[in-house]
Chain A
Amino acid sequence: MPLRVIASTQQKNIPSLLVFRFWGEECVVYNPLSGDTHLLPALHAEILQLITEGIRGDSDRPIDHLMAEYAMSYEEAVEFSSALYKNYKSLGLVDPSWN
C-alpha cells in the first residue's frame, strides 16, 4: 500500500494542505491552493513534508532527518535542505509568510 500522508496543520496562517502520495522512489504532491501537481523524488518529498511541518515549529527537522536517515553531515544537510527550500518556494509549495 502506498504511504499517504497529509501534511496537516492547525496553524491558520498556512493556507495549503499539501497532499502526498509516495510510490517507491517517487512521490506525487498535490497543492490544493494552486491545483498544481508535482512529481518529486521520494527523498525530496520527505524533506518537503518536514519543511511544511517545521513551519509550525521545529524548523530543524529536515536537517535532523537528512543527518539521521541519509548520513549527511550537518553542512551537507543544511545545503541540501536550503536548496530544496528555495526550489519549493519558487514553486509555491512553501511560503515564508506562513511562519
Chain B
Amino acid sequence: MLISDLDRNALKAHLSGQGLRFRTGPFGVSLRTSIPAIACHIEKLYPHSEALDNDAFIDFHITTNPVSGLRRRLKPQVVFSFDGYKPFKPLPLAQATAAFEWGLNWCIASISHQYLIIHSAVVEKDGLGLMLPGSPGSGKSTLCAALTHSGWRLLSDEMALLSVTDGMIYPVPRPVSLKNQSIQIIKAFAAEAQFGDRVAGTTKGDIEHMYVPEENALQASMGIHAKYLVFPHYQSGCETEVAPLSKGRASMSLIENAFNFNILGHQGFEMISDLVGSLECHDFTYPDLQQALDGIEQITSAKP
C-alpha cells in the first residue's frame, strides 16, 4: 500500500496517533506530528512512498511537534526529535516542513553506516549513474532538478548511499530542496514540475520542495553503479569549462564530501578508491542552467 492509498483522515490519524510508518529509499520511517502543514507535505510530496505495517522494521522514529507551554502562544515553534533526542534548536512553526526534511537528512547521515554517505546528488540514465557532489551554491540541486525533468532518474538530490555490502549506490528519492532563485529557474525550465508550499525566511533562504516524479519514486529500490563524477561550480558570467579531474583529487574531494568517512575509516577509504577507479571524473564550471545541461550532455555522451 502507498501513502496515496490512505485517505486524508486515515493519514492524519496515523500521524497524530502511533505514527505514520512509511519507506523512503531503503529506510523505514515512523513519523508522529500534530502539525497540519507536515501532514499536507507528506500527503503531497510522499504519495508514492510505501506505507508500512506495524511489523515492518523502522530505522527512524521521528516526532515533529510544536513546542509546548507558554512559548506555544508567544512564539510558535517546532521541535524535531529522533528517538526522543532533540538534535536541533526549535525552528519557527512556519518552517515545520523544512525542519522535518532537514531532520530526516540528519538521521540518515548520522546513523546509517551500512552506507558510505556522500554529499552528492545522484541521477541515472540508461543504467549509467551520474554523481554531482557539491557544496552549497554549486548549483547541485538545481542541476539535479533540471536533469530529473530531462530524462534522468532521480536517486537523490542530497546524498549518495554507497552500500558497504555491494558497492552499489541506492536511491533515497525524496523531494528536491530548491532555494531562492533556483525555484523560479526550475519552474521556468519544467512547467510540469510540481512543488510543495514555500517556506520563507529559513537560514538557507526561501525553500520549496519539488515533487519526485512518480516513476522515480516507484524505482526506489533499484541501485546503480556510477559511471560519471562531476563537480559542478556555478559561476555567473563565466565561460563553460569541462576539465578532467585526476583520480587522486577526485578521491580527496569525495572524502571531503563524505558524511561518515571517519566512522568507516579504512573500509571507507577502500570504498572511495574502488568507486573512483570506475568513474570518469570532471570539474565543471558553468554560467547558467542551459549551459550546465549542455555540458552534462557533452560529458556523458563522450566516448571514453
Contacts and interface: CB of A to CB of B under 8 A. Distances in A.
B87 interface: no
A11 B33 CA distance: 57
Contacts of B255: 37
Interface stretch (B127-135, B158-166, B241-249): B241-249
Interface of A: 1-2, 4, 19, 21, 23-28, 30, 32, 35, 37, 39
**Considering the complex of A and B, which 10 residue pairs feature the smallest CB-CB distances, nearest first?**
A26-B248, A23-B247, A30-B269, A21-B273, A23-B248, A28-B251, A39-B252, A32-B266, A39-B248, A35-B262
Dominant secondary structure of chain B at its interface with chain A: helix
A32 B247 contact: no
17 contacts: A1-B277, A4-B273, A19-B266, A19-B270, A21-B269, A23-B246, A23-B248, A24-B247, A25-B246, A26-B248, A28-B269, A28-B273, A30-B266, A35-B265, A37-B252, A39-B249, A39-B252
A2 B277 contact: yes
Contacts of A2: 247, 273, 277
B249 to A, nearest CB: 7
Contacts of B249: 26, 39
B252 A28 contact: yes
B229 to A, nearest CB: 13
Given A1-B277, A2-B273, 9 more contacts: A2-B247, A19-B266, A21-B251, A23-B246, A26-B247, A28-B252, A30-B266, A37-B255, A39-B248
Interface string B232-264: 000000000000001111011001000000100
A23 B265 contact: no
Contacts of A1: 277
Given A2-B273, A2-B277, A28 B265 contact: no
Most chain B beta-carbon neighbours within 10 Å: one of A19, A21, A25, A32: A21
